[in-house]
Chain A
Amino acid sequence: MIKTDILIIGAGPTGLFAVFEAGLLKLKCHLIDALPQPGGQCAEIYPKKPIYDIPAYPEVLAGDLVNNLMKQIEAFEPGFTLGERAETIEKQDDGSFIVTTNKGTKHQAPVVAIAGGLGSFEPRKPQLGNIGDFEDKGVEYIIRDPELYRDMKVAIAGGGDSALDWAIFLADVAKEVSLIHRRNEFRGALDSVEKVEQLTKLGKIRLITPAEVTGLKGKDSLESIEIKKADETFDLQVDHFIPLFGLSPKLGPIANWGLEIEKNAIKVNNALDYQTNIPGIYAIGDVNTYPGKLKLILCGFHEATLMCQSAYQRIFPDKKYILKYTTVSGVDGFDGSRKEAEKAVVKSIS
């Protein structure tokens, strides 16, 4: 059982910044995210795109924003459960909550902050009738462990960065890599496209374009895929088929946690502390709704800050506390590090 002070569901910018604000209050955080890396949408959908409305950053790439947040919270040693989706929540007699993921990992905390954005990212599955029969039996939508593909015959479908990047990576791991896309052009970064072109010439990637996977065949596990290219249809023997058609967010199991939901978002008390209808469970960032709500990263930062103050009072109802400024008090990391403003050098005039 992982125990922490604030359990944050969703490791996007809002969830990450909450770690910092909690750290200033000496509260420890642990984050759960369905994606295999922190950063949420910023890291998954648009890492290379600029954001122009983060205060004091005239321009920042979404990926850099995430990297900076990770650096800012490093000293507060957050824990991460990545690649797992928060599935169930149970309230304990002592008022704390136990959150269990789809992989069975259990987390306990007196406060839960849902910073889930638009929901957990689920892979978009191609509409092939029997694809469900082969899930985890040769069909994977997310690559969690590349070693699974060592010396295997692998087919990847898709035309974006993840399809290109994984084709490049697996070219050195798998026995055979085929990349199938409906067009000859790819949407990914130019250097990835060039790398795939190079590997194709070297015979390390078999590029099948413009083509589409139209069927899956196998008994107990996947044995081959049916590919349609122009007017020709043929079978390709594979051990694994990895369709990478992007991810779409779904509110998912959180919708069944007894929280008040409105317009696919969780209703919170914005006049006070962004608490939901269940005391001890907060919702911050894009996942919440209240009159006048704006889905902006900067609003998520503000909500995270207020949530932490309220969480502190919930965890330590009798402790006196007063807001401190980092410029005055510095930042004491849980790792023993300390950041503080340089003391002024006083020099006397003689």
Chain B
Amino acid sequence: MSDITIKIKDRDGVVHQVDAPTDMAMNLMEVVRSYELAPEGTIGVCGGMAMCASCQCYVTSDHQLPEMSYDEDLMLAEAFNVKDNSRLGCQIQMTEELNGLEVELAPEV
């Protein structure tokens, strides 16, 4: 399994191209945290259980993402600044199919 490259636009509008491993059971929220692209305490507050929406992001590339779980869907129904392309970063596992993924972090609330 190899690393994939993804582009993450942080909350200040800066785009970061980063490498993410696909063999470490990492999700997008954890990738953002490992590269420190959002301050600690402002992302992944619930640890990745789809229970806080602090890792909400907008998917701007046209990748086929895994289908939304019931938990994620309902958490987004309570989140703010939600758009049609909103997802929770913690629910997006890093897989080879996501090479080239582009996302934007939603504002902190």
Contacts and interface: CB of A to CB of B under 8 A. Distances in A.
B37 to A, nearest CB: 13
A183 B39 contact: no
B108 to A, nearest CB: 8
Interface string A241-266: 00001101101000000000001110
Interface in B29-59: 36, 39-42, 45-47, 49, 51-54
Interface bracket on B: 20 to 34
B46 A119 contact: no
Contact of A187 (B42, B47, B75, B80): B75
Given A159-B74, A185-B74, A264-B39, 11 more contacts: A46-B46, A118-B41, A124-B109, A127-B81, A182-B78, A185-B70, A186-B74, A187-B74, A248-B54, A249-B41, A263-B36
Contacts of A160: 78
A195 interface: no
Contacts of A46: 46-47, 49, 51
B41 A45 contact: no
B74 A49 contact: no
A245 B77 CA distance: 10
A263 B36 CA distance: 9
Interface of A is mostly: loop
A158 interface: yes
A246 B74 contact: no
Interface centre among B39, B74, B78, B109 (most CB of A within 10 A): B78
Interface residues of A, number: 26
A173 B81 CA distance: 33
B52 A264 contact: no
B49 A49 contact: yes
Given A187-B71, A248-B109, A263 B39 contact: yes
Contacts, number: 60
A249 B75 contact: no
Interface in A172-229: 181-183, 185-187
Contacts of B53: 246
Interface in A91-144: 118-119, 124, 126-127
B52 A45 contact: yes
Nearest to B53: A246
A264 B40 contact: yes
A245 B78 contact: yes
Interface in B71-109: 71, 74-75, 77-81, 109
Nearest to A117: B41
B78 A187 contact: yes
A39 B49 CA distance: 18
A138 B77 CA distance: 24
B82 to A, nearest CB: 9
Contact of B45 (A118, A183, A186): A118
Given A45-B46, A248-B109, A264 B41 contact: yes
B80 A127 contact: yes
Interface string A38-54: 00010001100100000
Contacts of B54: 248
A126 B51 contact: no
A158 B41 contact: no
Contacts of B46: 41, 45-46
In the A-B complex, the 10 residue pairs with the closest CB atoms:
A187-B74, A264-B41, A183-B77, A118-B41, A182-B77, A264-B40, A263-B40, A159-B78, A264-B39, A45-B46
A249 B40 CA distance: 11
A119 B45 CA distance: 11
Contacts of B74: 159, 183, 185-187
B54 to A, nearest CB: 7
Contacts of B40: 263-265
